[in-house]
Structure 1
Amino acid sequence: MDVTPEKPEPDWDPRSDAVFSNQIKAYDEMRHRCPVAYSDYLGWSLLRHEDVVRALDDHHSFSSAGSRHLSVPSGMDPPRHTAYRQLIERHFEPARVEAFEPLCRAISADLVSSFERNVEIDLVARLARRFAVRIQCAFLGWPDSMHEPLLEWVRKNHEATLARDIVAMATIALEFDGYISQLLEARRRAGTAAPDDITTDLLRQRIGGRPLSQEEIVSILRNWTVGELGTITACVGILAHYLAQKPQLQRQLRKELGLLPAAIDEILRLHAPLISNRRVTTKPVEIGGRRIAAGERVTLIWASANRDEAVFGDPDEFRLDRDPDENLLYGRGIHVCPGAQLARLELRVVMEELLKGTSEIAPAPGRQPVLAIYPASGFSALPLRIG
């Protein structure tokens, strides 16, 4: 197909105060007004479910290799992507994930038991961030001494994001790579005495007949950890906030914990914990009536696609009988999240312990949550009263 490139004027400003004040509402409005929208900041944004699915399924036209930095394997295309993906998937085999549940439950119960009762707490600070850090360190085999440095890193990253300070964000990213490099060096020095965990295992892995390079291992662990810390924090906050706002559903789930898996996926469809992912066009394409040239940035807006009326009807209607294949919470296609089963286990367990360990989760009187802003989602602060 001969497609004439289109260089339009921006259709919107994704960084405007109107968008940042309520991202989910803003994306809903853009999906109705201009479902394939251009901006200087995000390039071409796809907001409809069918368009996002098309881009996910057609990795030949929509490449994942759009970053200037090595990103293993999320920033790769086949065939390069395939070998790295196979190497990573073995760390998320069902038996390994299932074996992690007791430790996950112990961490969750410990955090919930530390809550004061019938007083206001910031659930993001007291549970969501701490759970994300502790659970990720436990799964990767990182020492408890990493908890506070990582929490401090999360705090600084959060402040830089709120301030939209690009220079600070880049510096903070390098600081995180330094943490990983120190962990890897400690394992190399330990030799055969190194802990038998995922991090040590990556030092032993080979790709194409050679060991993984330092840069490759750092990239894998960065993608796992930064993604996990951000999205799990967002997920826990979103789930707790929704249940605080829906006391009838909260009571139902307390009585029927078996409904939690479906309820969690549905709540996170309503309010996406991950706003978007990036692609780059490899050739001219026409999508949603817009012509896009080769080499253009494309942003897949999960937070809009998963609320598309054409697929879900009323996007705000909570239903436990949705078709799970339509929910793009963990992506789709060759780049579907390899840790989806682990994330589902972690969220189920922490919400089980939160419901079992409390009698009520309610909004804090007179206090409003603070919404996170792009590229983050969920809440920056979530005042709740825990009974």
Structure 2
Amino acid sequence: MERNASENSGSDQILGGNPIDWDPRSPEVLADQIGAYDRMRKACPVAHSDYLGWSLFRHGDVLQVLGDHETFSNIVSRHPSVPNGMDPPDHTLYRNMIEPYFAPERVAAFEPVFRRIASELVSDLRRNPSCDVIGDFAEPYAVRIQCGFLGWPRTLHIPLLQWVYRNREATLARNTQAMAAVALEFDGHIRSQLELRERAGVDASDDLTTCLLRQRVEGHRLDHSRIVSILRNWTVGELGTIAACVGIILHFLAEHRDVQDRLRRDRSLRPQAIEEILRLDGPLISNRRVVTRKVAMGGRMFEAGDRITVIWASANRDDAAFADAKRFNLERDQSQSLLYGAGIHVCPGAQLARMQLRVVLDELLDGLEPFALFSGSKPVRAVYPASGFSSLFLAPG
């Protein structure tokens, strides 16, 4: 449960010398994560918990962390994470290696593939309008476009989605044994794809996974463990966040018929609308950092080794960064948005994600009649570490 700022006194429970200001896994927080983060941003913007370490809720504090990788390290796990879980100079080396995979011309080449997938799913939605659009549309879209991007077979669609569910459960429970097991399971899926391409040799399919197998860094081919780490980072982020984005956008448009009608009339407004909807209701809740040296922030003192959690879903709703931040504004300047991060770890696939979301929104608005929320079933919000919705039903509106 959250605590008010006035409660941060000597009477607070202490863990390892730090007060416990809130419980990110309390029923109150999980029932309304966005609302809870809004309250924490005002009452206790730098808060400690045994689950997340220090959590930062203000836009300015989050931006400070993102811009100072020397004080706030991305090496947060004992397992290799390429390049997300690296600091310079290793991060620079591998970041420069992966950037071309998200070059504009490469991203543009996949648009017809993603549009076909979205169109097929919208057709299914028209035939079965009473379906749960999270499990039957948003999640299948995310897994199918990711497999299409990497050149993976359809046989992986269901196993990957099942893996996402198990990973979320293990993360929320902080069950380290289960987290290790699901990590090994995911690595197995990737290694099987690498081995297929190794055996095929020059006849291997010409896709991004094969390109990574042939990739060289400083004159040497990447070993499988590095490739697995890269593909894990790309895929885990893609499956969770794209599905969350689609659900958040559909929910918002179902609730705001005026915006939905305006976007149907004017396609040029759709990219800006996507950015603003996702600023209001973030598809990615948080990221981690580790403090490397003693530093003060928001009246609290961090020590080397302390864990930091930057709460994206709160920072993008901060009135100090966005005027009237909780109001939808189609003309809003998005330059301060942290939807895709900031600093040296800004999302390399931002333009890919933007295209994927624009494509699916085009197909939804062009292929479906006006829609609203289904009155017979209340939307169910996802819980940490996921965002968006776990269940959502629409109806003609």
Q: How does the TM-score come out when normalised to structure 1?
A: 0.95
Partner of 1:300: 310
Structure 2 Cα separation of the partners of residues 95 and 144 of structure 1: 25
1:127 is aligned to 2:131? no
Partner of 1:3: none
Supply the RMSD in Å over aligned alpha carbons. 1.6
Partner of 2:161: 151
Deviation at 1:116, TM superposition (A): 3.9
Partner of 2:3: none
Structure 1 Cα separation of the partners of residues 284 and 193 of structure 2: 28
Partner of 1:211: 221
Contact 2:125 2:137 in 1 (8 A): no
Structure 1 Cα separation of the partners of residues 70 and 270 of structure 2: 37
Task: Pick one of 374, 378, 383 that aligns with 1:364.
Answer: 374
Greater RCO, CA 8 A, separation 6+ = 1
Partner of 1:62: 72
Structure 2 Cα separation of the partners of residues 260 and 146 of structure 1: 31
Structure 1 Cα separation of the partners of residues 125 and 158 of structure 2: 19
Residues paired across the two proteins, number? 382
What residue identity is the alignment partner of 2:348? P
Task: Pick one of 274, 289, 300 that aligns with 1:264.
Answer: 274
Partner secondary structure for residue 298 of structure 1: strand
Query: Structure 1 residues 386, 145: CA separation in 2 closer, same or farther (over 3 Å shift)?
Result: farther
Contact 1:240 1:361 in 2 (8 A): no
Structure 2 Cα separation of the partners of residues 331 and 238 of structure 1: 19
Contact 1:36 1:290 in 2 (8 A): yes
Partner of 2:117: 107
What residue identity is the alignment partner of 1:250? Q
What runs of 5+ residues in structure 1 fail to find an aligned partner? Answer: 1-5
Structure 2 Cα separation of the partners of residues 119 and 96 of structure 1: 34
Structure 2 Cα separation of the partners of residues 251 and 275 of structure 1: 29
Structure 2 Cα separation of the partners of residues 383 and 164 of structure 1: 30
Structure 2 Cα separation of the partners of residues 161 and 34 of structure 1: 24
Structure 1 Cα separation of the partners of residues 129 and 211 of structure 2: 44
Of 152-161 and 263-272, deviating more is 152-161
Query: What are the Cα deviations for residues 221-262 of structure 1, in whole angstroms up to 9, with x where unaligned?
Result: 000001100000100000000000101100110111110111
What runs of 5+ residues in structure 2 fail to find an aligned partner? Answer: 1-15
What residue identity is the alignment partner of 2:339? L
Structure 1 Cα separation of the partners of residues 347 and 338 of structure 2: 10
What residue identity is the alignment partner of 1:268? L
Contact 1:153 1:176 in 2 (8 A): yes
Over the matched positions of the two proteins, sequence identity in percent amounts to 60
Q: How does the TM-score come out when normalised to structure 2?
A: 0.93
1:84 is aligned to 2:85? no
| Residues 205-354 of structure 1 mapped to structure 2, 5 A cutoff | 205-354=215-364
Partner of 1:71: 81
What residue identity is the alignment partner of 2:160? L
Of 164-173 and 212-221, deviating more is 164-173
Deviation at 1:158, TM superposition (A): 4.9
What residue identity is the alignment partner of 1:32? K
